[in-house]
Amino acid sequence: MAWEEEMVDLVGTLGPVVGFLLIIFGIALTLFGSRLTPILVGLAFFLPFAITTAVICEAFLNMSQNQSLWAGLVVGGLAGGCGSTLTKHAHVVFGGVLGMTAVAILLAIAQQFVELNIIAAAISLDIGFIIGAKFTRGLKDAVQFVAGAGLGGFCLAAGITVRRAGLEGLGGFDARTGESAIILAACMLGGALFQQWVAVRNADDSEHDD
């Protein structure tokens, strides 16, 4: 009982701190996401590898959910660490994540009408990643701006939720509805436009210096 009370106290203490860090990180990504490319590329590699590994471990290796989760985190972490060095083709990776996100939204809608198999869902997410990466090869700047601003909006919305409701509030967090959706859309649009403006201004300054 004492251990449970300590955990409750710890969660209550960490909630505001985590929320504050998410808000700061979200603002930084929204305004300067293209300059944080290594971090974003690492996250972009982490997601598909972690999800796919966890599903494979649970479905085919008969590992428990806890063990599968840890395996996914380890493999995803290794993939993210290696991927963070591949900044030259970052826009392709970001495009893959955007494609995976689009498929995830479609799967969430479809799940309301039909029961989805976890293996089929994981394969669909990977296919979405491949399609997104393929169709964004020639959109380097635009994809980097939107990806950074979008992730920043997500972190900002999550941080505000945590600040209000504590870490428990993440259980009901949904970036597709309500205030969170407005924050996400505003950050994606405003952040991408701001980053583009900064990039154009820096390019003009470089031309004048030359």
Q: Which residue has the tokens 């820096």?
A: 202
Supply the pLDDT for residue 178. Answer: 74
CA–CA gap between residue 177 and residue 205 (Å, rounded):
41
Supply the pLDDT for residue 169. Answer: 57
Supply the pLDDT for residue 172. Answer: 63
Predicted structure pTM score: 0.57
Answer yes or no: is 64 within a domain.
no
Per-residue pLDDT of the chain (210 residues; tens, 9 = 90+): 443 444 445 445 566 777 788 888 888 888 887 677 777 777 777 877 887 888 888 878 888 877 888 888 899 889 888 877 766 666 677 777 778 878 887 887 777 787 877 777 878 888 888 888 777 666 666 667 777 788 788 888 888 887 776 655 555 666 666 777 788 888 888 888 888 888 788 777 666 665
Answer yes or no: is 62 within a domain.
no
Answer yes or no: is 126 within a domain.
yes
Answer yes or no: is 184 within a domain.
yes
Q: How many domains does the chain have?
A: 1
- Of the candidates 6, 39, 13, the one whose C-alpha atom is nearest the C-alpha of residue 152 is 39
Supply the pLDDT for residue 1. Answer: 42
Answer yes or no: is 67 within a domain.
no
Answer yes or no: is 71 within a domain.
no
| Residues ≥6 apart with Cβ < 8 Å to 27 | 152, 156
Look up the domain containing 25 and give its range: 19-37+89-199
Answer yes or no: is 143 within a domain.
yes
CA–CA gap between residue 26 and residue 151 (Å, rounded):
7
Q: Which residue has the tokens 């198999």?
A: 117
Phi (first) and psi of residue 176, to 5 degrees: -90, -10
CA–CA gap between residue 121 and residue 117 (Å, rounded):
6
Answer yes or no: is 102 within a domain.
yes
